[in-house]
Amino acid sequence: MTPQITVLDTGGQYCHLIARRVRELGIYADVQQSDVPAATLADRRGIIISGGPASVYAPDSPTTEKELYALGVPVLGICYGLQLMADSLGGEVALGDKGEYGKATLHVDDASGLLAGFDADEPVWMSHRDQVRTPPPGFRRTATTATCPVSAIEDGERKLYGVQFHPEVVHTLRGRRLLENFLFGICGCVKDWDPQQQLPEIERQVQAIAAGRNVLFFASGGVDSTVASALCVRALGAERVHAVYVDTGLMREGETEFVEKTFEGFGHGVFEVVDARAEFLGQLAGVTEPERKRHIIGEEFVRVQERILERGRFLDGEWILGQGTIYPDTIESGGTKKADLIKTHHNRVAGIQRLMEANRIVEPLRDLYKDEVRVLGRTMQLPDELLDRHPFPGPGLAIRCLCSDAAAAVEATPEGWVVPVRSVGVQGDSRTYRPVLAVEELPTEEVIDRATHLINQRSDVNRVIARCGGHSPFSEAQVRPSAITEERLDRLRRADAIVREMSEQSGFEQQVWQFPVVLIPLGDAARPDSVVLRPIYSVDGMTASAVAMPDGLREALVARLLEIPGVAHVLYDITHKPPATIEWE
Ligand code: XMP
């Protein structure tokens, strides 16, 4: 299928949100590097240049070919995309006197064309410091904000448009309207995209790629690999699909049984559980540093996978590997120039690269976004219980079971207790690794609002937790040296299972995007650990906000969690991302 719209990627994940929005409006869109040869885009109905973190005047910043603007194809530049367009066509871009982050009021000079349907004063979402000072010749300004005099420009003749704000985020009230104006009004797109209707085509592709061979899957229990596996069963028949589930010992309670049941549910042929608990826990023994834990788990995963692949035969025949890779992963791992921003994905390790080179990989979801994968899953009647699962990190409970090298006590300060357990944060695009601040207040909306101020006031912490209950006074709490042990993992598993069960029953689980439960080595002589609750709202995990929960649920949870042997206190993470990350490690 030829995309009607191409979104040009100028860095980060921004481009995917734009492409997702375009597809939600029923138009097939793909994502390409910003400097793709312009001539290859001549048959598109429209081009969108995404936002990105760079400055157009910095050396080596992402760029586009100038010919792009002379194709006669409408172009919409968003944020950095606007600045790039202005810079390329003879306008001026410079650092603003101050930044503009979050909600802003757009004053609209001309509510026609791209901004049709906009009010004179319109709430929009901004995230920038650079701004267009002078639009290029031929362009006129169509909107401003108090901070950014050139917030939207257009050259109607050449069909070139640019906006400084982000129409792709939900906080821009009429963002969807703007995209509709561009796609249907300006580009003349016609609806051609419905993921549900892709099912027969994907099945045909799977059959063609498999070409009589069997398919092996590493099942994780996540939505993507399960839907991909179910698709292969549908396309090839159960007897030709073999799924291996690796039990790392870092899974949640009942996870192995859940995955087994799900695979049974769609009539999967061979489902094999490989017990690698001893290997993973052995490698992690005594390790406390978060990045090192992640690294060890990644490496061990590769070793176990390669060992299984080397067995060579699955279902007594020639085989290829099936994977649940989805569109953003396909793009990210494609060897882009912005590789420094990108994590190595499990789906692209060396043994798997070799299989790719030998054409022995099938990735039925490689062109789809997560929400589209869910649509396919529902079409295939996979259970909601699977499709609505919260995201769960690859390294499993290991990154939610915090460790410590040394003993230390909590320290009183005017704002609260400094707890000497360090966690990861993200401030101004950099990683921080700092202690947390504990306050003796209940986690209400009001206290959550104050958390950000507390962190801005002091540079020694990056996260704030509220204490909800405990067996002893917090002043006596101590951090003890601890690593990952079966005993601690079991404690965390129990706490996580209780939280999941109670929040599911109360409906709270369905209201939040994710709800990590974290174990930290803070307690007293009889009880070495504490449990942290971390429910959050998010759209894509890139940013997140802390969420308060109903008092009744919180009180009931605290009472149940304090019954777990070895648990001293129950705490509640009230920090947004940024400045904290969602996970603690
Ligand atoms: P952070 O903690 O970076 O998390 O704010 C953002 C989202 O990513 C998930 N996460 C991971 N997912 N492998 C994954 O597949 C990982 O190593 C990993 N680390 C974090 C996290 O659960 C959240 O949804």
Residue range 492-521, pLDDT digits in tens: 999 999 999 999 999 999 999 999 999 999
Residue 466 pLDDT exceeds 60: yes
Task: Determine the pLDDT at residue 381.
Answer: 95
Length of the chain, in residues: 585
Residue 358 pLDDT exceeds 50: yes
pLDDT tens digit sequence for 43-65: 999 999 999 888 999 999 999 99
Rounded to 5°, the CA angle 294-299-303 comes to: 150
Task: Determine the pLDDT at residue 346.
Answer: 52
Pocket-testing residue among 583, 584, 585, ligand 1, by greatest number of atoms within 8 A of Cβ: 583
Residue 342 pLDDT exceeds 60: no
Q: Which position among 166, 242, 268, 576 bears the catalytic label?
A: 166
Which helix (H) or strand (E) covers residue 530, if one does?
Answer: strand 529-533
The residue contributing the CA closest to ligand 1 atom 10 is 393
For the chain, the domains span 5-186, 195-395, 400-573
User: Between the CA atoms of 397, 329, 12 and 79, what dihedral angle is there, to the nearest 10 degrees?
Assistant: -130
Cα–ligand 1 centroid distance for 399 (angstroms): 10
The pLDDT-based confidence of 427 (bands split at 50, 70, 90) is: confident
Tokens found for residue 501: 């069960």
Cα–ligand 1 centroid distance for 488 (angstroms): 21
> Residue 185 has what DSSP assignment?
I
Closest CA to 363 of 317, 330, 389, 388: 330
Cα–ligand 1 centroid distance for 393 (angstroms): 5
The residue contributing the CA closest to ligand 1 atom 4 is 582
Atom of ligand 1 nearest to the CA of 399: 19
Share of the chain above pLDDT 70, in %: 95
Cα radius of gyration rounded to whole Å, the chain: 26
pLDDT tens digit sequence for 189-219: 999 999 999 999 999 999 999 999 999 999 9
Cα–ligand 1 centroid distance for 200 (angstroms): 32
Task: Determine the pLDDT at residue 501.
Answer: 97
Task: Give 3-state DSSP helix, strand, coil % of the chain, rounded to 5.
Answer: 35, 25, 40
Task: Determine the pLDDT at residue 340.
Answer: 35
Task: Determine the pLDDT at residue 237.
Answer: 95
Cα–ligand 1 centroid distance for 243 (angstroms): 24
Task: Determine the pLDDT at residue 333.
Answer: 44
- Give the count of beta carbons closer than 10 Å to the beta carbon of residue 74: 23
The residue contributing the CA closest to ligand 1 atom 20 is 393
Residue 344 pLDDT exceeds 70: no
Mean pLDDT within 342-360 = 67
What is d(CA 284, CA 262) in angstroms, rounded to the nearest whole number? 30
The pLDDT-based confidence of 429 (bands split at 50, 70, 90) is: low
Ligand 1 binding residues, C-beta < 6 A: 391, 393-395, 514, 541, 577, 581-583
What is d(CA 540, CA 184) in angstroms, rounded to the nearest whole number? 26
The residue contributing the CA closest to ligand 1 atom 3 is 581
Higher-pLDDT residue of 335 and 522 is 522
Residue 78 pLDDT exceeds 90: yes
* Lowest mean per-residue pLDDT among 30-34, 267-271, 389-393: 267-271
* Lowest mean per-residue pLDDT among 197-206, 274-283, 298-307, 330-339: 330-339
- Please tell me the pTM assigned to this model: 0.86
Q: Which position among 79, 148, 189, 401 bears the catalytic label?
A: 79
The residue contributing the CA closest to ligand 1 atom 6 is 541
Task: Determine the pLDDT at residue 268.
Answer: 85
Task: Residues 5-186: name the CATH superfamily.
Answer: Class I glutamine amidotransferase (GATase) domain (3.40.50.880)
pLDDT tens digit sequence for 555-580: 999 999 999 999 999 999 999 988 89
Taking the CA atoms of 228, 231, 232 and 237 in sequence, report the sign of the dihedral they define: positive
What is d(CA 77, CA 83) in angstroms, rounded to the nearest whole number? 8
Mean pLDDT within 522-545 = 92
Closest CA to 300 of 326, 322, 333, 277: 277
Pocket-testing residue among 582, 584, 585, ligand 1, by greatest number of atoms within 8 A of Cβ: 582
Cα–ligand 1 centroid distance for 311 (angstroms): 31
pLDDT tens digit sequence for 149-185: 999 999 999 999 999 999 998 889 999 999 999 999 9
Residue 395 pLDDT exceeds 80: yes
Residue 166 designated active-site:
yes
Residue 318 designated active-site:
no
Residue 79 designated active-site:
yes
Please indicate whether the domains covering 5-186 and 400-573 agree at the CATH topology level: no
The residue contributing the CA closest to ligand 1 atom 19 is 393
The residue contributing the CA closest to ligand 1 atom 18 is 393
CATH class of the region 400-573: alpha beta
Task: Determine the pLDDT at residue 464.
Answer: 98
- The arrangement of secondary structure in 195-395, i.e. its CATH architecture, is 3-Layer(aba) Sandwich (3.40)
Give the residues across from 75 on adjacent strands. Answer: 47, 160
Cα–ligand 1 centroid distance for 328 (angstroms): 14
Task: Determine the pLDDT at residue 341.
Answer: 33
Atom of ligand 1 nearest to the CA of 294: 17
Cα–ligand 1 centroid distance for 377 (angstroms): 23
The mean pLDDT of the chain is 92
Mean pLDDT within 268-284 = 93
The residue contributing the CA closest to ligand 1 atom 21 is 393
- The b/e string for 559-577 (b: 16+ C-beta within 10 A; e otherwise) is ebbbebebbbbbbbbbbbb
Residue 428 pLDDT exceeds 70: no
Closest CA to 134 of 77, 98, 83, 61: 83
